[in-house]
Chains A and B, each alone.
Chain A
Amino acid sequence: MNLLAPDRSQYPAKKADGTLDIDLASGKYLKLWQGPNHPGITGNMSVELTVCGDEVVEGKTHVGYLHRGFEKLMERRSFIQCFPIVCRICVPEPDFNEYCYAAAVEELAGIQSPERANWIRALILEMGRINSYLMFLGGQAGALGLGVIGQWTTYARDLMLDRFEEMTGARIYHMFIMPGGVRDSLPEGFDARMAETLREIESTMRDVQDVMFRNAVFKKRTVGQGVIDPAWIDQYGVTGPNARAAGVAKDVRRDQPYLVYNELEFEPVIGHDSDIYTRSDVRRRDLLMSVDLIRQILAKMPRSGPLIAEMPSMLHWKIPRGETYVRGECSRGEYGYYLVTDGSGFPRRVNVRGPSYTHAMALLERMIVNINISDVAALMVSLHTYPPEIER
């Protein structure tokens, strides 16, 4: 309907340096802050929107509300002291920090983690992925006003947190994957309870599919919205489900298999339309794939063997000079640790590459232009951004 289509002629002209010429005093534009204190924002960050009518003209992401200076703090902690703080970088899926950090340290120190530990690591990472996706589905539906999905998925996530708790003793920060191996083996009867939890999650996902993915209004709000152009994927460093929804089968688990992914059977989930709906759908199918992977891992994993490699004395542990980059496929994309050592007992430099770093900043600022204010929350959630891994 022409009446409702925006009149693009009134949009601001571009200045010579590429920025927009926005004259707030003219009354045509309104500056609107979405966040940091806003239910429609993912975590503690904010987007500074300049709107013209109902359309966003310019959006700027502001982060730094959660900055704790991890990379600096780690420089003054010994290698083993770093291990309990790395998981705090990312709350919904902390295990990837532990894994990437442990793997980077092992690589530079020349330690080989035992076979059984690798299986348990993969198990934990997949469990964390399910948690993260469940949070995402609830958030995506919630951003469009479908609160009931969030209730169901958070309940399912609580069940998974119970499994985490019996395994590691903690709900959120597990501190389980340490350099050299893992802390403990699986508790007794874990497999049966895990199977039960997976069944429950699958039945929740069937409900979610019925109520969310087959919902006419949900489709209306998401299909064709917030499309990531496949050309942007390399330009903006898009990884993970965001890239897979655009038809690019970017999955570190397949591209550069780590841990035990070589021995598991799976195919990266891809979508084609690259809109909000497809991204949610890719994540839903990826979740079901993780359920399948956990079953495979539990079926194939060795039940005996060492859990942790021979380690040098933690107090005098020095690692020779070197640098490396270790990556893994977390639920949001490529998670990586860049670790530089200088022969001392402390890391020289740690750099955490969170997938949200590129998604929430440059990509979001690009995608947010010309969309409706009401869609900002849905768009942001659909990129599955998580601020602490941006600013760390």
Chain B
Amino acid sequence: MRDLHTRLQHLFPLGELTEQRPNLGFVTVPAAYLRPTLLHLRDLEGYTHLVLLTAVDWLEEDLFQLTYLLSNRAAGRDIGLRVKFPRQAASMESIHDLWPTAATYQRELREMFGIDFPGSPRLHEEFILEGWNDIPPYRRDFDTLKYARANFSDRPGRETRDPEQHMKQQLYPDGA
């Protein structure tokens, strides 16, 4: 993993490598260098399999993180490319021409996070949700419980207990 990172660092301004396992590493890539890095990894280093493309919402830092996870089957190694960019007017380059299947991931991210991928096919069609009228649901500032309470009626009789309090009462009824 280290040698690959050193090789890549000569070509692209990469961040530090986080070596999660001997065969899995994560590295931060500036958004502008994502495409050349992906191409390099795919065509020269044998990382041909796009395992997944997903986003993480760092609300506190006001950042979105996209993770492109590539796999090299022959070497049994995976590398995750992290791309961070501001949450406002979130937009990212589409990679559906590198991997056709990425279009599906990008459709999902568009719908669930509101990240735009200009040029990706069928991007604006509804993917999972239908008639959604709130902010994209996977964003951290979307409160699913509040939405569920507002939209769906409860059946009376259901109790929700805080696990900590409940266990305290069950195990230490005297308040020890």
- A residues with CB within 8 A of B: 18-19, 60, 63-64, 67, 69, 71-73, 75-76, 78, 81, 107, 234-237, 239, 250, 255-256, 315, 322-325, 327, 334, 336, 338, 340, 348-349, 351, 353, 357-358, 361-363, 366, 391
Contact = CB atoms under 8 A, between A and B. Distances in A.
Contacts of B73: 250, 255
Contacts of B127: 63-64
B69 to A, nearest CB: 6
A336 B164 contact: no
B101 A351 contact: no
Contacts of A351: 52, 54, 67
A351 B52 CA distance: 9
Interface string B109-135: 000000000000110001111100000
A63 B122 CA distance: 14
Contact of A237 (B23, B101, B137, B164): B101
Contacts, number: 99
Nearest to A351: B54
B18 to A, nearest CB: 8
B129 A67 contact: yes
Given A234-B49, A323-B20, A336-B51, A64 B128 contact: yes
Interface residues of B, number: 42
Nearest to A17: B121
Q: Which 4 A-B pairs have the closest CB atoms?
A: A64-B128, A351-B54, A234-B48, A362-B101
Interface of B: 18, 20-21, 23-24, 26, 48-52, 54-57, 67, 69, 73, 76, 78, 80, 99-101, 103-104, 121-122, 126-130, 137-138, 140, 142, 144-145, 163-164, 167
Given A323-B80, A325-B80, A353 B20 contact: no
Given A336-B51, A338-B54, A353-B51, A72 B137 contact: yes
A72 B121 contact: no
A192 to B, nearest CB: 38
B100 A71 contact: no
A236 B54 CA distance: 16
B128 A391 contact: yes
A63 B111 CA distance: 13
Given A72-B144, A250-B73, A237 B50 contact: yes
Contact of B57 (A18, A349, A357): A349
Given A72-B138, A237-B51, A322-B20, 5 more contacts: A64-B129, A72-B142, A256-B23, A336-B52, A351-B67
A246 to B, nearest CB: 14
A63 B128 contact: yes
14 contacts: A63-B127, A64-B130, A107-B20, A237-B49, A237-B99, A239-B49, A323-B18, A323-B26, A323-B67, A324-B20, A325-B51, A336-B51, A362-B100, A391-B128
A75 to B, nearest CB: 8
Contact of B52 (A60, A338, A340): A338
A340 B51 contact: no
Given A234-B49, A391-B128, A366 B100 contact: yes
A69 B137 contact: yes
Contacts of A256: 23, 76
